[in-house]
Structure 1
Amino acid sequence: MSPQPDLPDPAHHDVDSMLSRKFGREVANYFSGSTLNRVSFLRTDYSFISAALTHKSTSFLLLNDLAPLAKDPSQLAYAKHDDIKSLIGDNPFAKSEDELIKEYNSSVTLPLVLFLGIDERKQEGFEHGIYKGKPFFAVDVTPRGTVEKEASAVIEAMKAKGLQFVEGRMHMNLNAPEAAIYAHARALTDWNARNPFCAGCGQPTMSVNAGTKRVCPPTDYAALPNAQGGATSVPSTPNTRAACVTRKGITNLSFPRTDPTVIMAVVSHDGKRVLLGRQKRWPPHWYSTLAGFCEPAESVEEAVRREVWEESGVLLGRVVIHSTQPWPYPANLMIGAVGQALPDGEKIHLEYDPELEDAKWVDMDEIREALRVGTSGLGEAPGEGYKEGGLRLPPQTAIANQLLQAVSGGFLNGSTNL
Structure 2
Amino acid sequence: MVPRLCKVGLFFKSRKRFKIFRSVSVINMSSRTGPEDTKKPFVDKYFECAENGNKEELSFLLKSTVNVDQRNEKGWTALMFAARHGQTGVIETLLEKGCDTNIVNKTGQTAQDIALFWDQNLAAKLIEAHMKEENPDQQLRNFFSLNHLDRASEKRKDKDWLQAKISDETSQFLLLSELKPFVLPIKDKTSKWRYRLCWLDHNKISSHLTSDTVILFLGIDHSSSQSLFAIDVSGKEESKFKDLQPEGSFMVPFPGSLQMEPSDAGIFAEARSMMDWLERYKFCATCGSSTDITEGGHKRVCRNQECKSNKGIHNTAYPRTDPSVIMLVISADGKRCLLGRKKQFPAKMWSCLAGFMEPGESIEDTVRREVEEESGVKVGRVDYHSSQPWPFPASLMLGTIAYAKTEDIKVDEDEMEDAQWFRRPEIVQMLTHQHPQGLYIPPEQAIAHQIIKSWVRNTASSNL
Whether TM exceeds 0.5 here: the answer is yes
Report if aligned partners of 1:7, 1:397 keep a CA contact under 8 Å in 2.
Answer: no
Residues 54 and 295 of structure 1, relative CA distance in 2, 3 Å threshold = same
State the superposition RMSD in angstroms.
3.0
Structure 2 partner of 1:76: 197
Aligned counterpart, 1:172: 258
Distance 1:46 1:203 in 2: 24
Per-residue Cα deviation, 1:312-354 (whole angstroms, up to 9, x for no partner): 0011111010000010010100000000101xx1110114x62
Contact 1:268–1:341 (8 Å) recurs in 2: yes
AA partner of residue 201 (structure 2): K
Match for residue 140 of structure 1 among 216, 232, 236:
232
Q: How does 1:334-373 map to 2 (within 5 A)?
A: 334-342=397-405, 345-351=406-412, 354-373=414-433
TM-score with structure 2 length normalisation? 0.66
Q: Which has the higher contact order (CA 8 A, sep 6+)?
A: 1
| Alignment check: 8 A CA contact 1:277 1:287 kept | yes
Q: TM-score, normalised by structure 1?
A: 0.73
Q: Does 1:394 align with 2:413?
A: no
Distance in 1 between the 2:399 and 2:331 partners? 17
- Structure 1 residue identity aligned to 2:457: G
Corresponding residue of 1:114: 216
Give yes or no for the alignment of 1:57 onto 2:170.
yes
Residue of structure 1 aligned with 2:298, choices 209, 212, 230: 212
1:169-193 CA deviation, whole Å, 9 max, x = no partner? 3321000010001000000000000
Gaps of 5+ in 1: 93-109, 123-132, 144-150, 220-242, 374-385
Q: Which of residues 292, 295, 299 is equivalent to 2:355?
A: 292
Q: Residues of 1 paired with 2:166 and 2:206: CA distance?
A: 11
- The answer to whether structure 1 residue 198 and structure 2 residue 284 are counterparts is yes
Larger radius of gyration: 2
Instruction: Judge conservation of contact 2:291–2:301 (CA < 8 Å) in 1.
Output: yes
Contact kept? 1:7, 1:30, Cα under 8 Å: no
Q: Residues of 2 paired with 1:254 and 1:77: CA distance?
A: 30
Q: One-letter code of the match for 1:254?
A: A
2:240 is the counterpart of 1:157? yes
CA distance in 2, matches of 1:278, 1:335: 19
1:10 to 1:67, Cα distance in 2 relative to 1, 3 A: farther
Q: Percent identity?
A: 40
Distance, in Å, in 2 between the alignment partners of 1:301 and 1:405 is: 21
| 2:265 aligned partner, one-letter code | A
Aligned counterparts of 2:344 and 2:314: Cα–Cα separation in 1 = 43
Shift of 1:387: 5.4
Please tell me whether the aligned partners of residues 7 and 176 of structure 1 are also in contact (alpha carbons under 8 angstroms): no
Note if contact 1:215-1:252 (Cα within 8 Å) is conserved in structure 2: no
**In structure 2, do the counterparts of structure 1 residues 388 and 283 end up closer, same or farther at CA, with 3 Å as the change threshold?**
farther
- Give, as a single letter, the amino acid of the residue that structure 2 aligns with 1:75: R
Matched-pair contact (CA < 8 Å) for 1:10–1:33: no
Cα 1:354–1:280 change in 2 (3 A) is same
Aligned in 2, Cα 1:12/1:264: closer, same or farther, shift over 3 Å? Answer: farther
Q: Would you say the 8 A contact 1:60–1:136 is kept in 2?
A: yes
Match of 1:313 in 2: 376
How many aligned positions are there?
329
Cα deviation, residue 5, structure 1: 11
Paired residues for 1:268-279 under 5 Å: 268-279=331-342
Q: Partners in 1 of 2:202 and 2:295 — Cα distance?
A: 19
**AA matched with 1:350:** V
Task: Note the C-alpha offset of 1:205.
Answer: 1.1
Higher helix share: 2
